[in-house]
Every structure is written in C-alpha cells, then in structure tokens.
Chains A and B, each alone.
Chain A
Amino acid sequence: MSERRPGTNYLNVSYGIRSWLFTVDHKRIALLYLGSVTLMFLLGTVFAGLVRLELLTPAGDLFSADSYNKIFTMHGIVMVFFFLIPGIPAVLGNFLIPMMVGARDLAFPRLNLLSWYLYTIGALFTLFNIVIGGVDTGWTFYTPYSSAWTTTNIVPVALGIFITGFSSILTGLNFIVTIHTMRAPGLTWFRLPLFVWAHYAMSIVVILGTPVIAITIVLLALERVFKLGFFDPALGGDPVLFQHFFWFYSHPAVYIMILPAMGVISEIIACFSRKRVFGYSFVAASSLAIALLGFLVWGHHMFVSGQSVFAGLVFSVLSFMVAIPSAVKVFNWTATLYKGSISFDTPMLYVFGFLGLFTIGGLTGLMLACLGIDVHVHDTYFIVAHFHYIMVGGTVMAYLGGLHFWWPKITGRMYPEWWGRLSALIVFVGFNLTFLPQFIVGYLGMPRRYHAYPDEFQVFNVMSSAGASILGVGYLIPLFYFAWSMRYGKKAPDNPFQATGLEWTTPSPPPTENFPVTPVVTEEAYAYEKMPIPAGGARAV
C-alpha cells in the first residue's frame, strides 16, 4: 500500500466516533479495550476501597452483612472476569501480536471487533445488575446457594460472564490462527518473541477452559430458572460437581492471567538487561507446560469439599508439579539478569516488582498445595493474600510494565520517566503493605468474606487498609500522566529503548497496515548483542 500519505498512522488515518466503533484495525481495537478495561479496573478498585474501608474497624459498622457480601462479590467478578482475564491479551496482545509476527492484522479482524462488543455487552449486563441490586454469592457462585437460595440477580450476572467468555474465546481463537498461519517469511516458531509464545499458550487454555465455565453457567441458570436439577442436593444433584466444573476453568483461568504477564516480563527483561533471554526454548516450552499442567490441579481448591482423600493427594502432588515450569521461568529470568547491563527504567522497575511479588505468591501456593496447611488456612485471609500476590502482584505489575514499555509505540509519545519510576515504587510499597499483613492475619485465623472480625486482628487490618490507599494512589498516577503524555509527551522515536522485535522496526505510532512491506526475519529473537545501548536520551525526561 504505497499510496500512504506520509505522516499518517493508525491513529490519524480517519477521525470520528464511527471510525473507531466500526474499526477492524487490531491496534484501534486494542485501544477500545484499553478504555473499557481501564474503566472496569477503576470500578473494581472502588469496590475494593469499600471492602477495605469496612474492614478498618472490627465492628460491621459501615455496611450490613448483605451489602458487604455484594460489594466483595462485585469486586471479585469485575476484577477477575473484566480486568485480569482480558487485560493483557486484549490490550497488549491485540496490539502487538500481529506486529510481532509481521502480519498486517489478526486473522479475523471482524471477529476481533465482535469480541470487543461482546466484552462491552457482558460488562454492561454486569453493571446493570449492580444498579438493580447486585449479587452476594462471591465470584465463585457456589451451588446450591446460588441456584436455590439467594434472592439476588444471579442470572443476569451469569449471562454477562457467559457473553464475556465468548469474547475471550474469540480472542484466543484469533491469536492461535494468526500465530499459526500469518508469520512473516523466516519467522519460525523458535524465532518468535516469548510474548507470542506466552499468548499462544494462553490461547490454548482459553480454548479448552472457557467452554467448560460456559456450560457450567448455563446449567446453573437452568437450575435456577427452570428448576432443572444438576447441583442441588434437594433435587438429587451434587454441589461438589459444580465445584469441579467451576475450578476446572477457574484454576486454569489464573494461567490465562499470568501467562501473558510472563510474556511481557520476558520482553522487558531482555531489553533492559541488553541480553538474550537465558534458555529461550525452556521459557517457551514452560509456557506450554504451564498451560497443560494447569488443567490437572483444579482439585486443590476442593481439599475440604468432601472429595476423597485419595483425590486430595493426587491433586496435591500435581499442584507441586505445576510449580516447576513457573520456577523455570523465574530462574531463567534471573539468569538473564545475571551480568546484564541493567537499567532501572519504569518498565524494568515494574518487572522487579513482578519478580518479588510473583515469587512470594508462588511459594505460598506451594504451601497451600500441602493438604495439611491448606486445611488450616482454607477460606482465610491467607488465601486472599496468596491469590492477590499472584494475580494482582503478577498480572497487574506486568500489565503496567508492558503498558509503559509499549506506550511510545502505541501513542507515539513518551511518558514522563520520573513519574513512572515514582508510580512503580508507590505501587510496590502499597502492595506489600496491603497484602503482607493478610498472610499473617489469615494464618492467625481470620476468615475471608466476613464484614466483622475479632478485635485482635485490627492492627493488621488497619495496615492493610492503609496500604490499599497507597496502592490506589500508585495506580492513579499513571492514569494521569498517560493521559497527559498523549498530548504533551515528548515525541517518541520508532525504537526508543533500542529493543529487538518487529514491532520496533515500524514507525511510532504504526501505520494501519503495520509494515510498509512485509518484513523478512533472518535471525533469532533478542539479538541484543547487535543493538546499540541507548544513550538514555530518549528515555530521560
């Protein structure tokens, strides 16, 4: 498409709201997602703030037990289904995967747009439900409470999640097909950036897991509306079957969140230590191993559900095994850092945050995989701390790191480096102050999902609530300077960080067709020894 006017890029080729709402350009769709996902994140944060506010004092003084149930439920649902799961793939994956494989777009651009609409419709459904009264089951929807007892709006929320599930499926399908069929000449599988590998593995999990939660939600809705019996013991059904179905998706779902995050980490670590990723093929293969092993461990959420001791043992052992590929990655990243020429720019600071938090989350996961310990801390704040370290500490840190790293490519503008570093620091401090005390208080026996607690737990809860407000500030700062930089930020060069990867060979922001001519790839990923070390000029602001 040589007739492109100089100076046009995907942002300014056309104007007006219609040109965005009907776009089939993966980069614009990524930005649509960025908008929606950010809104959902803010909403989820508001609910989190309310939870922490209530828990500031031991008495249940701010909300009734019922309202509290609805608040933490909405927090969980919004964060898990509308932020953590779609976050990195829908924003960064959508934007980058076609460019990283040297393609002009995803394989099915219109399906891609459809998936954004499905996401939005699902989100609106869920938000609408908040207006008409909320849900109080927790994001896990355990039966028979959800199917027979609660009077809240299970069906509309379930429908919202069901629809959003289709949006994930379409995204995963698009990624798989694009990565298989649209790689540029010379771009063999083992030359792909690890970001692409990670998204490929994630897509497999999406394809295999999401339909199972979809049918589970359908059965739940049928049981609730038509009194068909599947999970309700009063009708002869089995509530533990619901838990099996639920966790068969929801444990792998944590890998839907964390695999793309790991992809982001690999890219940033290589760039800011100016080295090839140590053990590239191990890191790539460990993504696939995580994807597949992740389907075998769901039962560790059910140690106290009444499943057989034998099943508990098997799930315990398998859970230990799934930790191996994650550890492989952490060790390889560490080895990549070793003797690298490391620079502490904002994306890298987020990566360091990720490494610390993810390691703590993973190690406590191993503790939980031990049957005995899990029985002690099950349904306490220890669990809450564990999964926040993994999911928020892992996914959100990587998301923010990735957003900073590719921001110049996405917008054509630099973000202010000083503010970036400050935000990374505040997020890290705030995060640990929020969630470390929860490990302790949980181990001491404070159960999750209560709006009141014994006085002796107050110190830890005050720390946690204080941390949450710091964390909130940390999350808000980037929102402001990103918005600011879109207008006033310094113009970004094509490759401000002197990174490898096809996306950096095209202008910032890229033209609609990504590459003026289809690139040809002649070497492995991460050939950093051939790249000049950036003078710091582009990065220092």
Chain B
Amino acid sequence: MPSDAAAHAVHAHHFEDAAQQRHAVTLGMWTFLVTEILFFGGLFLAYSIYRWSFPAAFAAASHHLDIVLGTVNTAVLICSSLTMAMAVHSAQMGGRKSLIAYLVLTIILGTAFLGIKAVEYAHKFEEHLVPGATFRLPPEPKGAGHVVDHDQAVAAGVPSMEYPEPEELARHAQIYFSLYFAMTGMHALHMVIGLGLLGWLVLGARRGRFAPGLDAPVEIVGLYWHFVDIVWIFLFPLLYLIGRHK
C-alpha cells in the first residue's frame, strides 16, 4: 500500500510513530536552546557585573556605538523573524514555492544584518576602539554632561566610580568593548550557523522534503532563528541604549 510506505518514510526506524519522533525532535531543540540561554547567560552576567562596577566608563563607551546602524539592524532582524515564521507556516501548509521564497528572504535579511555588523566592526577598528595596545577612548563630545574634572568631583564628595580618572575610564571602557565584541561576535557566529541551516532547508525544500507533517526540520530551525533574534533583542538595549540619556 502506497500510504503505508509514506507512513514509513515519516519516521526513523527507532521511533514507534511520527508523533513520537516529532515530540522528540521538538523537545531536543528546546533542550538545546536551554543550553544556549546559559551560554549567553554567562556573557550577560559578566556584562551586568561590570556595568554595575564601572557605570561611568560603560556609559561613556556606549556613546561610541552607532545607534543608527544598530536600530536598522534590529529592524532587519525582526523582519527576518517574521519571514521565518512565514516559512514555517508555508511548510505546515505544504506551499513549497512560498516556503522557498520565505527561506531565501530570511537568508537575505540575515546576510544584510551581518553586512551591517561588519561595517560597524570596521568603524570600530578605524576609531581605535578595539581593545589592545592601540585602544583610545576619544574625549567626550561637549555637552555629554557626565565627564567632569575627576579631582573636582571627588573633592565634592562624588564617588570616584562615577567620575573616574581618564586612564581608569579608558581601561574600563576597554572592558566594555571587550564585552561588545564578545557578545556581538558570539551572536554573529550564531547567525552564520543559522544561515547555514537555512541554506540546508532551501536545498531540502527544493527536493520537496518538507510536506505537512514532515515539517519538523523547518520548525526547529525556526525556533533556533527566533532564539538568535531574541538574544539580539536583549543585546541591543544593553549595548546601545542604556546610558545614552546621560
């Protein structure tokens, strides 16, 4: 019976049935995402601790991020989440053409994100904001409001943590940029892996591998992609926005 053969193709031999396989695959992906949360959690924790210890340096350093590019990138990424969700929907509905279209769109948006990120990185190199021997924190633009003469501030009884000496400020700003590169770099690496997975889905979709009921791979790559987006949704305010008003 042909229907029997189809039912057989649905699940690997060691599962009892397709439902069991689907359950397993989804649970597997969620479990993996838990490990990802803890992985990024380490970075977020380090960031929080240092932000708390060196508020002035972190505020000063965050002024050197490009808020326009950051915002554009956030928008790009949110759009890619949307196209990914549409791809999952298409796979469930069995629309092969639309599935491929949405996957390709997601790939384009993801690549755009990485391109913009690369531009930002290049700027940081030019501005000597990469930690190391050549690191220089440019003086604050006038009216930024929070760089006062250190001695005066301390004499006035303000804690030196809020008005550090310039060298100290620069040293702690280096930590900010170390975290910036580590966090956005890790995020970008996850995007690259995600793009690879999306490419793999496109190949599979062209061979018609994903029919309704057979869409678990699309679904779990979708979960992964949304997760990576969500990480960015936390990174963006932490790195670009907090402290700007000062």
Which residues of A are in contact with B by a Cβ distance under 8 Å? 103-109, 169, 173-174, 176-178, 180-182, 207-212, 214-216, 218-219, 222-223, 226-230, 235-238, 241, 245, 513, 518
Contact = CB atoms under 8 A, between A and B. Distances in A.
Contacts of B82: none
Given A177-B28, A229-B131, A237 B34 contact: no
A222 B23 contact: no
A218 B186 contact: yes
A211 B14 contact: no
A208 B34 contact: yes
Nearest to A233: B171
A228 B24 contact: no
B74 interface: no
A178 B24 CA distance: 7
Interface string B96-123: 0000000000000000000000000000
A498 B133 CA distance: 70
Contact of B131 (A173, A182, A211, A235): A235
Contacts of A107: 24, 28
Nearest to A103: B14
A303 to B, nearest CB: 20
A245 B39 CA distance: 11
28 contacts: A104-B14, A105-B14, A106-B14, A109-B14, A173-B35, A177-B31, A180-B27, A182-B15, A182-B20, A207-B34, A208-B38, A211-B35, A211-B37, A212-B42, A215-B42, A216-B42, A219-B42, A219-B46, A219-B182, A227-B132, A227-B133, A230-B46, A230-B179, A235-B178, A236-B54, A236-B172, A238-B49, A241-B49
B14 to A, nearest CB: 4
Interface in B125-175: 131-133, 168, 171-172, 174-175
B48 to A, nearest CB: 11
Contacts of B27: 176-177, 180-181
B39 A230 contact: no
Nearest to A25: B14
Contacts of A245: 42, 46
B181 interface: yes
Contacts of A226: 131-132, 181
B38 A235 contact: no
A219 B186 CA distance: 11
A182 B15 CA distance: 8
B191 to A, nearest CB: 16
Interface secondary structure of B, over-half rule: helix
Given A227-B131, A230-B178, A181 B39 contact: no
A528 B31 CA distance: 36
A218 B175 contact: no
Contact of A236 (B28, B36, B175): B175
B43 interface: yes
Interface of B: 12-16, 20, 23-24, 27-28, 31-32, 34-43, 46, 49-50, 53-54, 131-133, 168, 171-172, 174-175, 177-179, 181-182, 186
B175 A230 contact: yes
A223 B179 CA distance: 11
Given A104-B14, A105-B14, A109-B14, A207 B182 contact: no
A239 B36 CA distance: 24
B42 A222 contact: no
A272 to B, nearest CB: 32
Contacts of B177: 228
Contacts of A223: 178
A414 B35 CA distance: 41
A72 B201 CA distance: 47
A109 B13 CA distance: 11
Nearest to B53: A238
A483 to B, nearest CB: 31
A228 B182 contact: yes
Contacts of B31: 173, 176-177, 207
A405 B50 CA distance: 52
Contacts of A104: 13-14
B35 A169 contact: yes
A223 B131 CA distance: 10
Nearest to B15: A182
Contacts of B13: 104
Nearest to A111: B28
Contact of A235 (B14, B53, B54, B171): B171
Given A104-B13, A211-B41, A230-B182, 18 more contacts: A169-B32, A176-B27, A177-B24, A181-B24, A182-B15, A182-B20, A210-B35, A211-B36, A215-B40, A215-B186, A222-B182, A226-B181, A229-B178, A230-B46, A230-B178, A236-B168, A236-B171, A238-B50
Given A182-B20, A222-B182, A228 B131 contact: yes
A247 to B, nearest CB: 13
A211 B182 contact: no
A182 B32 CA distance: 18
Contacts of B14: 103-106, 109, 513
Contacts of A518: 16
Nearest to A235: B174
B229 to A, nearest CB: 19
Contacts of A105: 14
A182 B132 CA distance: 52
A78 to B, nearest CB: 24
A199 B41 CA distance: 25
B99 to A, nearest CB: 24
A236 B174 contact: yes
Contact of B174 (A103, A178, A216, A229): A229
A356 B27 CA distance: 39
Contacts of B43: 215
Contacts of B133: 227
B35 A228 contact: no
A207 B35 contact: yes
A219 B182 CA distance: 8
A135 to B, nearest CB: 22
B181 A181 contact: no
B134 to A, nearest CB: 10
A223 B20 CA distance: 45
Given A173-B31, A181-B24, A182-B20, A241 B46 contact: yes
Contacts of A222: 178, 181-182
Contacts of B34: 207-208
Contacts of A229: 131, 171, 174-175, 178
A218 B172 contact: no
A365 B28 CA distance: 36
